[in-house]
Amino acid sequence: MSDETEEGRPGGPKPVDHRVAPTRVGLVVPEVRGTTSGHSIEMRRQEFEGLARAIDVEVVFVEVVRVREVRPATFLGAGIVEQLKARVAADEIELLLVDTALAPVQQRNLETETGAKVLDRTALILEIFGDRARTREGVLQVELAHLNYQRSRLVRSWTHLERQRGGFGFLGGPGESQIESDRRLLEDRVKLLEDRLDKVKRTRGQQKGNRDALQFPIVALVGYTNAGKSSLFNRLSGAGVLAKDLLFATLDTTVRKIPLPHGREVMLSDTVGFVADLPTTLVAAFRATLEEVIEADLILHVRDVANPDTAAQAQDVLKVLGELGVSSEETPIIEVWNKLDLLGPDPDARREVLQHVMPAGSVAATVPVSAATGEGIDALLQAIETVLAGSSRTFRVRVPHANGADVNWLYGHAEIIGRDAPDDEGQTYEVRIDPRHRASFAQRFAGRIEAA
Ligand SMILES: Nc1nc2c(ncn2[C@@H]2O[C@H](COP(=O)(O)OP(=O)(O)OP(=O)(O)O)[C@@H](O)[C@H]2O)c(=O)[nH]1
Ligand SMILES: [Mg+2]
């Protein structure tokens, strides 16, 4: 956990109470007829188990249940609810995790009818993020997402607030009257968090100002959780970011400078992974962390091509990128087809699998790699260089002699490719401009620019 600190967690590290055994949990994965997420039910089941494993609970059973028609009161059919009730009693289940988005009333009814606490997929993901957040910004963002979720639901599980008072996440949740009396506190807290996040963002903005001046394009790794972003980041940068077979191993953004084959340097960023049905409140709250992605010159979309669900996962990633306002029209995307080694050593067998993998959306290139063995990494660096070079354009711009500030700006923000011999009034420069400086370039040199 090289880059994580306890800094900023209000009240210090999370209290651990060894008197309490891990919560006994049942997982319920509804297979709803007529809905096509593109994910196979088996992969969904595995993923949900992975998500549950990401918090400290004891998974007692995992059950895929058929839902022929969604029942408004409980989401699940009456027969299934009956079975779950029996199972809860027999296995002493304390918590049911249901892999769908439940309406507040469905959640409450399920709790009443089964006798266990019930959390849906959104709440589980928020819970994981709450557990993992370490940096000041991460903690603030998760809490804000959590409060906004709670505020819209009025349910009895405000884990995060409760945890800060020394409670135990969803198991130590307060009663309804407590919630009512805490309403004011909640509103105040949301405001306070927004203020604090604003401050953190402003500080980051200042740091970014420095970075911009340094003139390095940003290359951002994005991808489904567990696709291998951090492994690839470590492979490319020699950093020691935590890479683990754990969903949402990474929550914060780490940025490192790496050289490309011909000496040009870029800022490479590793950040939180995406997942199907990532709560929008969470995406919104994590905008600051995802800033590198939003402002990237180039996106590396890392895909686990050995995963049978790789196509559906890639679509989920594109969806979140869309929510962040990132599109391949403005930001070139290279698809990195990772975990090549898992397809076996035989080139024919690999080709056989890879020919069924389709790029998601329009991409500048696809590069098969293995972050584990290093295979394909050179080709990836080469592709990064090529795509970046292609996305910066060259211009000729006229600068009067007297205008030293403009010349300084060019040296600070552009790559000077050539200069004409100066004449009496000034000099013409040929410059290469990265996409993200194009707007300020156009404004500053309006009327004096010609395409080269
Ligand atoms: N066999 C194989 N395993 C890999 C490869 N790349 C990553 N892994 C494994 O996949 C798991 C997830 O890797 P990470 O790098 O943590 O994935 P991530 O995308 O950063 O995941 P999150 O931070 O949780 O979103 C780890 O167990 C890695 O060892 C690869 O090329 N081949
Ligand atoms: Mg990671």
pLDDT tens digits along 50-89:
999 988 889 999 999 999 999 999 999 999 999 999 999 9
Asked if the domains at 23-132 and 216-390 fall in one CATH topology, the answer is yes
Encode pLDDT of 370-401 as tens digits: 999 999 999 999 999 999 887 777 789 999 98
Ligand 1 near 273 CB (within 6 A)? yes
- Tell me the sheet residues that pair with 95: 25, 117
- 342: DSSP letter: G
- Domain residue limits, the chain: 23-132, 133-202, 216-390, 392-451
| Closest residue by CA, ligand 1 atom 7 | 228
CA 226 to centroid of ligand 1, rounded, Å: 5
Task: Say which CATH superfamily domain 216-390 falls into.
Answer: P-loop containing nucleotide triphosphate hydrolases (3.40.50.300)
Q: Which ligand is nearest to the CA of 300?
A: 1
H or E element in which residue 227 lies: none
Please tell me the distance from the alpha carbon of residue 221 to that of residue 331, in angstroms, as a whole number: 13
CA 186 to centroid of ligand 2, rounded, Å: 32
Encode pLDDT of 244-260 as tens digits: 888 888 877 888 889 99
- Three-class DSSP category at 122: helix
Q: Which CATH architecture has domain 392-451?
A: 2-Layer Sandwich (3.30)
Least confident of 57-66, 168-177, 283-292, 377-386: 168-177
Q: Do residues 335 and 363 lie in contact, with contact meaning Cβ atoms separated by under 8 Å?
A: yes
Encode pLDDT of 297-354 as tens digits: 899 999 999 999 999 999 999 999 999 889 888 889 999 999 999 999 999 999 999 9
Ligand 1 closest atom vs CA 225: 25
pLDDT of residue 163 exceeding 50: no
Ligand 1 closest atom vs CA 342: 1
| pLDDT recorded at residue 88 | 96
What pTM was computed for the model? 0.78
pLDDT of residue 213 exceeding 70: no
Phi, psi of 245 (to 5 degrees): -80, 75
Ligand 1 near 230 CB (within 6 A)? yes
| pLDDT recorded at residue 179 | 58
Please tell me the distance from the alpha carbon of residue 254 to that of residue 2, in angstroms, as a whole number: 10
Both structure tokens of 428: 């013409």
Please tell me the distance from the alpha carbon of residue 376 to that of residue 140, in angstroms, as a whole number: 38
Give me the residue label for tokens 């198991």: 171
Please tell me the distance from the alpha carbon of residue 271 to that of residue 276, in angstroms, as a whole number: 17
Give the dihedral of Cα atoms 205, 208, 213, 217; nearest 10 deg: -130
Please give the mean pLDDT across all residues of the chain. 83
Expressed in percent and rounded to 5, the helix, strand and coil fractions of the chain are: 45, 20, 35
Mutate to test the pocket of ligand 1, among 230, 282, 336, 380 (most ligand atoms within 8 A of CB): 230
The confidence band for 290, taking pLDDT boundaries of 50, 70 and 90, is: confident
Phi, psi of 432 (to 5 degrees): -110, 130
CA 266 to centroid of ligand 1, rounded, Å: 22
* CATH class, range 23-132: alpha beta
| Closest residue by CA, ligand 1 atom 10 | 228
Please tell me the distance from the alpha carbon of residue 169 to that of residue 124, in angstroms, as a whole number: 11
| pLDDT recorded at residue 318 | 95
- For 420-437, what is the mean pLDDT? 86
Ligand 1 closest atom vs CA 373: 31
Q: In what order do the strands lie in the sheet with 365-368?
A: 254-259, 265-270, 218-223, 298-304, 333-338, 365-368
Encode pLDDT of 124-153 as tens digits: 998 888 887 777 888 888 888 888 887 766
Mutate to test the pocket of ligand 1, among 231, 337, 375 (most ligand atoms within 8 A of CB): 231
- Three-class DSSP category at 267: strand
Ligand 1 near 228 CB (within 6 A)? yes
Residue 113: which residues within 8 A CB-CB, separation 6 or more? 74, 81, 85
With a pLDDT cut of 90, the percent of the chain lying above it is 46
